């Protein structure tokens, strides 16, 4: 059932409906890491709004330097000094994406820049907290967030920026606070899943997977992010559909729910439970699954046989038809 859904929607034809499309425009792994992070943290709100904001942010970065076309990698690397952060603030002046402003983007890239400087890549920083035998990414994500928050207190330039823009905290979510960390789990899925299927199925980037260029050049020996350690990015769409098909009974979409759904998906693929995420999310993003039973839509759905919501809707419809007869 889930494999049928995967075959239908886990395809490059649907990339345009997802922020994952942005890092695919680049080939350098550091460009990809920076752009993926940007696209992931801005992935809240509606799809059009997200695309507009990521596009606008990238345009500002490309126009920022002296060169005709500044790469995201070069731009982020320049933010390791206070002077770079000040210039970046003017590049992102008046940028707004819902709850976040331009200073928040500068803070995010300032943190990324320091991770690059100290570890070689964000992936290397992340896996420094990841035990290869850990069941999932909980401890590592908490560790990365703790480091970044401590830098925001101890680095004078970052501290000044953080004080002037408290909304930056919306970018920094940690499992320890109970959040489902949807945007970080999505970013980590992009980084940790290495696609092995045909060219049509190659969506996730696998930048931090074992044997990747970033892992080979910057990760400590024996460290990498394994797909089996990923946790599903739970949002209103995947959360709702997960409830419909019995992957969780939890009403609140928090870290416990994300882990519970991941454990349920592990029964379908123990080594790669989040592989179904992109396809599941399409049902909501493409408005294929509505918040009501629609026989013409549900009868075509790959998940129909497991969907409790559709079963109830169908039963209601039949009762109604009998009442009319
Ligand atoms: S069967 Fe209908 S309600 Fe259930 S997941 Fe599919 S489209 Fe949504």
Q: What is the Rg, in whole angstroms, of the alpha carbon atoms belonging to the chain?
A: 21
Q: What three-state secondary structure class fits 205? A: strand
**Ligand 1 centroid from CA 61, angstroms:** 41
- Specify whether 192 is located in the same domain as 311: no
Residue of 292, 309, 315 with the most ligand 1 atoms within 8 Å of its CB, for mutation: 309
- Specify whether 171 is located in the same domain as 257: yes
Helix axis angle, 29-41 to 47-64, nearest 10°: 140
**Ligand 1 centroid from CA 5, angstroms:** 12
- Specify whether 275 is located in the same domain as 316: no
DSSP for 113-164, please give it.
HHHHHHHSSHHHHHHTT--TT-SSSHHHHHHHHHHHHHHHHHSHHHHHHHHH
**Owning domain of residue 272:** 2-210+217-285
- Specify whether 311 is located in the same domain as 183: no
Q: What three-state secondary structure class fits 254? A: strand
- Specify whether 66 is located in the same domain as 146: yes
- Specify whether 17 is located in the same domain as 164: yes
- Specify whether 195 is located in the same domain as 125: yes
pTM summary value: 0.95
Residues contacting ligand 1 via CB (< 6 Å): 241, 244, 289, 297-298, 301, 303-304, 307, 309-310
Domains identified in the chain, total number: 2
Q: What three-state secondary structure class fits 9? A: helix
- Specify whether 237 is located in the same domain as 313: no
Atom of ligand 1 nearest to the CA of 304: 1
Atom of ligand 1 nearest to the CA of 241: 5
Q: Give 150-193 pLDDT, tens digit per residue.
A: 999 999 999 999 999 999 999 999 999 999 999 999 999 999 99
Atom of ligand 1 nearest to the CA of 307: 4
Give domain status of residue 290, yes or no.
Answer: no
- Specify whether 180 is located in the same domain as 306: no
Residue-by-residue pLDDT tens, the chain, 325 positions: 899 999 999 999 999 999 999 999 999 999 999 999 999 999 998 889 999 999 999 999 998 865 557 899 999 999 988 899 999 999 999 999 999 999 999 999 999 999 999 999 999 999 999 999 999 999 999 999 999 999 999 999 999 999 999 999 999 999 999 999 999 999 999 999 988 878 888 999 999 999 999 999 999 999 999 999 999 999 999 999 999 999 999 999 999 999 999 999 999 999 999 999 999 999 999 999 988 888 889 999 999 999 999 888 888 888 877 776 5
Output the residue whose Cα is nearest ligand 1's atom 2: 298
- Specify whether 81 is located in the same domain as 179: yes
**Ligand 1 centroid from CA 296, angstroms:** 10
Q: Give 283-318 pLDDT, tens digit per residue.
A: 999 999 988 888 889 999 999 999 999 888 888 888
- Specify whether 164 is located in the same domain as 25: yes
- Specify whether 300 is located in the same domain as 205: no
Dihedral angle sign, alpha carbons of residues 100, 105, 111, 116: positive
Output the residue whose Cα is nearest ligand 1's atom 7: 289
């Amino acid at each position: 059932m889930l494999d049928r859904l995967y075959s239908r929607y886990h395809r490059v034809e649907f990339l345009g409906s997802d922020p994952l499309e942005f890092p695919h425009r680049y080939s350098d792994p550091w460009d990809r890491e920076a752009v993926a992070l940007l696209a992931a943290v801005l992935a809240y709100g509606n799809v059009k709004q997200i695309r507009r904001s990521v596009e606008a942010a990238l345009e500002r970065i490309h126009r920022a330097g002296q060169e005709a076309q500044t790469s995201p990698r070069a731009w982020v690397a320049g933010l390791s000094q206070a002077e770079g952060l000040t210039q970046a603030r003017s590049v992102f002046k008046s940028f707004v994406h819902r709850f976040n402003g331009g200073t928040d983007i500068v803070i995010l890239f300032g943190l990324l820049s320091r991770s690059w400087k100290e570890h070689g890549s964000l992936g290397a920083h992340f896996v420094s907290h990841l035990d290869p035998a850990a069941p999932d990414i909980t401890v590592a994500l908490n560790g990365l967030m703790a480091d970044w928050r401590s830098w925001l207190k101890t680095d004078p330039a970052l501290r000044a920026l953080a004080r002037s823009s408290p909304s930056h905290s919306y970018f920094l979510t940690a499992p320890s606070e109970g959040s489902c960390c949807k945007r970080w789990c999505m970013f980590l899925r992009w980084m940790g899943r290495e696609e092995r299927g045909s060219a049509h199925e190659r969506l996730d980037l696998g930048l931090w997977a074992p044997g990747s260029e970033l892992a080979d050049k910057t990760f400590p020996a024996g460290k990498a992010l394994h797909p089996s350690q990923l946790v599903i990015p739970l949002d209103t769409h995947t959360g709702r559909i997960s409830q419909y098909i019995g992957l969780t009974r939890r009403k609140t979409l928090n870290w416990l729910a994300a882990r519970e759904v991941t454990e349920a998906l592990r029964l379908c693929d123990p080594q790669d439970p989040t592989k179904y995420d992109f396809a599941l999310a399409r049902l909501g993003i493409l408005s294929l699954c509505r918040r009501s039973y629609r026989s013409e839509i549900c009868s075509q759905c790959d998940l129909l046989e497991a969907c409790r919501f559709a079963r109830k809707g169908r039963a209601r419809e039949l009762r109604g038809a009998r009442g009319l007869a």
